A and B are shown apart, each in its own frame.
Chain A
Amino acid sequence: MIKEFADWLSYKVFEMQAGTHMADAVNFFVYDTIKILLMLTVIIYVVSIIRSFFPPEKVKKILAHKTEFVGNILAALLGIVTPFCSCSAVPVFIGFLEAGVPLGVTLTFLIASPMINEIALVLLWGLFGARIALIYIGTGMVVAITAGMILGRIPAVERMVEDYVWEIRMGNVEPPKLTWRDRAEQAALHTQDILRRVTLYVLIGIGVGALIHGYVPIDFVATYAGRDNPFAVPLAVLIAIPLYSNAAGTIPIVQALMGKGMPLGTVLAFMMAVTAISFPEMVILRKVLKVKLLAIFAGILTIAIIIVGYLFNAII
């Protein structure tokens, strides 16, 4: 139905000739924008309802005193559904440690939570299809679990956390009793808030994507940054780091580039770096991690993401 509408708008209303660059770009833009905004509305709403059952105050109790491996897996899963913004990274970090969540498990959570978020998933699913969205979730979890486990095993890693962190004592708060109506209302507010923040980026991203789709030659990326170029993956990761968690704006562009021959591994590595590694995030984490641990944290994450890139370029 959206497809018919996009065809009608671009070929009938704008009277463009089907098959020309301009008509292609407009058609692509109208179709993708409507599809993505509809998907965002529905999925953010559903995820917000699920989230209302897992506030960090509750998650820390679930993860407290869990053993290494099981704890890391749980942390990665809970990271997907837990509300998280980088402004709460510090309290979540301190609160988890104080509750007895192992350091490695806490770090797994801090990696998974921004990396596997619903906005990125909607865009991946809507633009790349369910298969790639699932591959992204799976590899994202493996990266978060592995990096957390490695970091947790560094000898005397506790001493690489800022000292004041260990001195904070937390109070206990009764989780508010929410009715289904409360959850529905809060989810609606949250959905509006997110849509207001990302719509412009989605429009810009899809707009640029549409131009690439209509005008860039078909094997453009394949020629310059295809499978054979060993520097493509690290370069993609480097470019992604300053694009602070802006999945909404970048994923449509990457999707268009994939259509022009960017291999899947490079695509995955790029998107993981956009969501998981960012300069502002590191500045925030510096408040709780000493420089050495922060550097190891960023290093391991970067290497893990680059490995994902090479691996998928090699096998698919």
Chain B
Amino acid sequence: MEIKVLGPGCRNCEKLEADSKQAVKESGADATVSKVTDMAEIMRYGVLSTPGLVINGKVKSYGRLPSVKEIRTWIEEEKKN
């Protein structure tokens, strides 16, 4: 599973990256968490308000900080697919 955190490096983006790693650890999923800081690439996902969270190419949230619990539900969803 591929998890991407979209954001140019603001405080919330760093928090989201840490929370995503936490969610991966808790769920035991086989997933990589990486950061996307390039503006052109962030915008290719259609996201204007950062931080954004993309799992397996799907934009799950943007413009806010989802909770670890929420991220876990999305990871579980993607596991089933």
Chain A binding surface SS class:
helix
Contact across chains for A171 and B62 when beta carbons are under 8 A apart = no
A171 vs B58: C-alpha distance when bound (angstroms): 11
What residue of chain B has the Cβ atom nearest to residue A88's Cβ? B49
User: How many chain-B residues does the 8 Å CB contact rule pick out?
Assistant: 19
A194 to B43, CA, bound (A): 26
Given contacts A87-B8, A170-B43, contact A92 B48 (CB under 8 A): yes
B46 touches A91 (CB 8 A): no
Interface assignment of B42: CB less than 8 Å from any CB of chain A: yes
Across the interface, name the chain B residue whose C-beta is closest to A94: B43
Question: Nearest Cβ distance between residue B51 and chain A, in whole angstroms?
Answer: 10
The docked-state distance in angstroms from the alpha carbon of A190 to that of B50 is 14
Q: Which of A31-39, A54-62, A240-248, A270-278 lies at the interface with chain B?
A: A54-62
Q: A110 to chain B: closest CB distance in Å?
A: 13
Total A-B pairs in contact (CB under 8 Å)? 65
Known pairs A55-B49, A173-B47; A90 contacts B39 (CB<8 A): yes
Proximity string of chain A (152-176) to chain B, C-beta cutoff 8 Å, 1 when within and 0 when not: 0000000000001000111111101
Contact residues, B61-79 vs A (CB, 8 A): 61-65
Complex CA distance for A85 and B64, rounded to whole angstroms: 12
Residue ID in chain B nearest A169 by CB atoms: B44
- B-side interface residues toward A, CB under 8 Å? 8, 10, 39-40, 42-50, 59, 61-65
Complex CA distance for A102 and B81, rounded to whole angstroms: 41
Residue of A90, A168, A173 touching B62 (CB-CB under 8 A): A173
Q: Contact residues of A with B, CB < 8 Å?
A: 55-57, 60, 83, 85, 87-88, 90-92, 94-95, 98, 164, 168-174, 176, 186, 189-190
Question: For B48, what are the chain A residues with a Cβ–Cβ distance below 8 Å?
Answer: 55-57, 60, 88, 91-92, 95
Contacts of B10 in A (CB 8 A): 85, 87
Report if A91-B42 is in contact (Cβ < 8 Å); known contacts: A55-B49, A57-B48, A83-B49: yes
Contact status B39-A173, CB under 8 Å? no
A186 touches B64 (CB 8 A): yes
Given contacts A87-B8, A92-B48, contact A173 B40 (CB under 8 A): no
Look across to chain B and name the residue whose beta carbon is closest to the beta carbon of A58.
B48
Would you give the shortest CB distance from B80 to chain A, in whole angstroms? 19
